[in-house]
Amino acid sequence: MFDLSGKSALVTGGSRGIGAGVCEAMAAAGARVWVHYNSGADAANEVAAAIVGKGGAATAVGGDIGDSAQAQGVIDAIEGQGGQVDILVNNAGINIQSHLIRMADDQIQQVLNTNLLGTIYCTRAALKGMMKRKWGRLIHISSIVADLGSPTQTIYCATKSALFGFSKALTKEYAGRGITSNVIMPGLIDTAMTRALSEEQLNSILATIPTGRIGQPADIAAACVFLASNEASFISGAELAVNGGAL
């Protein structure tokens, strides 16, 4: 089950955290992996090297996906190396925490560019090849705060909740062509950002999670592998909560 052999996956923001975990899981399931990065070339190359060291196939590919031309350039670079994008995991995201009234225009635009426009641009670029092959998997990484809301994260919440409508519309447009589109909603996941929390903050959040633990990147990665597989071909337009029951 969940064999991705013969498929090729692009994971945006794949150099660390959830993205790195998704890259590793996709490769373990047999997929050829493209580890996307914007500024973290060294980290992306390390992820790719670790996958290759385990017998998998992976290559780092860079670009600012918040820029339309560069997002297309990422796909072009993959195809220029004889690759393709069968599976796109729109994982790249940033969060500038601030009360909305204090956010500058450039900060708002930066979050919109990476989280929302980057997803739109990469999806548009990847769809061309998927349509030709009549097979594709679009997986968008949202967040539990898209439903809950969160103070000091208004723009982040807006971009993550926008993925719901985006994915449902993609389903209406492309599911009949063998291309599915789904959203994953992670809860609190053990990443560098989480490890920066104080013990008090961490305990407060843990109290809201019925399973009693923080999630791991592998938890999100496993959901991505499932949604990318043939076994999930009848699932599209769905929102999968991976949050330990916190929502």
244, 218 in Cβ contact below 8 A? no
pLDDT given at position 204 = 83
pLDDT given at position 198 = 79
Residue 2 lies inside a defined structural domain of this protein = no
CATH number assigned to the domain comprising residue 164: 3.40.50.720
| Cα 168 from Cα 181, distance rounded (Å) | 7
Residue 161 lies inside a defined structural domain of this protein = yes
Give which of 246, 241, 242 is closest to 207, Cα–Cα: 246
| Cα 214 from Cα 120, distance rounded (Å) | 30
Domain boundaries, position 78: 8-240
pLDDT given at position 43 = 97
The residues, ordered by sequence, that sit 6+ positions from 60 with a Cβ below 8 Å of its Cβ are 15, 34, 35, 36, 37, 41, 44, 45, 47, 48
pLDDT given at position 225 = 98
Q: How many CB atoms lie within 10 A of CB 89?
A: 30
pLDDT tens digit string along 146-187?
Answer: 998 888 889 999 999 999 999 999 999 999 999 999 999 999
pLDDT given at position 9 = 98
Q: Is 55 left (phi over 0), alpha (psi -120 to 50) or beta?
A: left
Residue 3 lies inside a defined structural domain of this protein = no
Low-confidence ranges of the chain (pLDDT < 50): none
Residue 247 lies inside a defined structural domain of this protein = no
87, 178 in Cβ contact below 8 A? no
Residue 245 lies inside a defined structural domain of this protein = no
Structure tokens at 187: 């809860």
Kindly list the catalytic residues: 156
pLDDT tens digit string along 48-65?
Answer: 999 999 999 999 999 999
Residue 184 lies inside a defined structural domain of this protein = yes
pLDDT given at position 194 = 77
Domain total of the chain: 1
pLDDT given at position 79 = 96
Q: What interhelical angle do 17-28 and 217-228 show, nearest 10?
A: 50
50, 35 in Cβ contact below 8 A? no
pLDDT given at position 83 = 96
DSSP SS3 for 99 = coil
Residue 1 lies inside a defined structural domain of this protein = no
pLDDT given at position 142 = 97
CA angle 31, 134, 185 (to 5 degrees): 60
- Upper half-sphere CA count for residue 217 (Cβ side, 13 Å): 18
Residue 34 lies inside a defined structural domain of this protein = yes
Q: Is the Cα torsion angle 47, 219, 19, 6 positive or negative in sign?
A: positive
pLDDT given at position 101 = 96
Find residue 139's DSSP bridge partners.
Answer: 89, 182
